[in-house]
Structure 1
Amino acid sequence: MAKIDLEKLSLEELKQLEKDVQAAIVSFEKRKREDALAAIAAAAKEHGFNLSDLVSEEKPAKGRKQPLPPKYQHPENPSKTWSGRGRQPDWIKDGLASGKALDDFLIA
């Protein structure tokens, strides 16, 4: 590769050189990508598939998990419920401390 003496170039020549280098990098990356896609397509064809068949498969959507249904309910206030997972609510702790069993709070 020819060595360029950058000290002798003007600002405009340096900027043009920079643009040319960026264009060459983009072109190189594009060629490499096309080569890789061709190799992948050939491998897919060797196994009896089209590349579009392999990459167009839909993946399950990631989303939030649905909240668990309540399993336990406050005996005096039915609006207070607990699924049985995570931290115990204070009303469960208080009930257990007073001698009740967890089964006493089950939703019938």
Structure 2
Amino acid sequence: MNIDLETLSRDELQKLIKDAEKALKSVDARRKAEAKRAAEKAAKEFGFSLDEVMGATVKGSKGAPKFANPADASQTWTGRGRKPNWVVEALKSGKSLEDLAL
């Protein structure tokens, strides 16, 4: 992707920076979720949960995120408890939970 930065206005450059920062957060959130799933899988192969391996207590654990907002991947949901507004809106717009799955 080639963008000629010299031809962009100040507002366009600021929007580009904001969009790039948002994309970086989204990539980081996805990679962290993938890393956690891989670590959980590896611990399970040895007969442990990730919490047991890390020495954390299971009580009060929020759980791993299972769903992410397609518009902002930093917004995640474990599938437990009340649905966040972005999930409710996505379901109203015709999307399924599978569409939101990580």
The equivalent of 1:38 in structure 2 is 37
Max Rg structure: 1
Amino acid at match of 2:20: V
Distance in 2, Cα, partners of 1:39 & 1:30: 14
Distance in 1, Cα, partners of 2:50 & 2:24: 26
Give the TM-score, by structure 2 length. Answer: 0.52
TM-superposed CA distance for 1:54, in Å, is: 1.7
Structure 1 runs not aligned, ≥5 long: 59-108
* 1:8-65 superposed Cα distances (whole Å, 9 cap, x missing partner): 110000000000000111111111111111110000000000112222348xxxxxxx
Amino acid at match of 2:41: A
Amino acid at match of 1:22: E
Q: How is 1:1-108 mapped onto 2 (pairs within 5 angstroms)?
A: 2-57=1-56
SS of corresponding position for 1:4: coil
Number of corresponding residues: 57
Structure 2 runs not aligned, ≥5 long: 58-102
Amino acid at match of 2:18: K
* CA RMSD of superposed structures (Å): 1.4
Higher relative contact order (CA 8 A, sep 6+): 2
Amino acid at match of 1:29: D
SS of corresponding position for 2:23: helix
Give the TM-score, by structure 1 length. Answer: 0.49
Higher strand share: 2
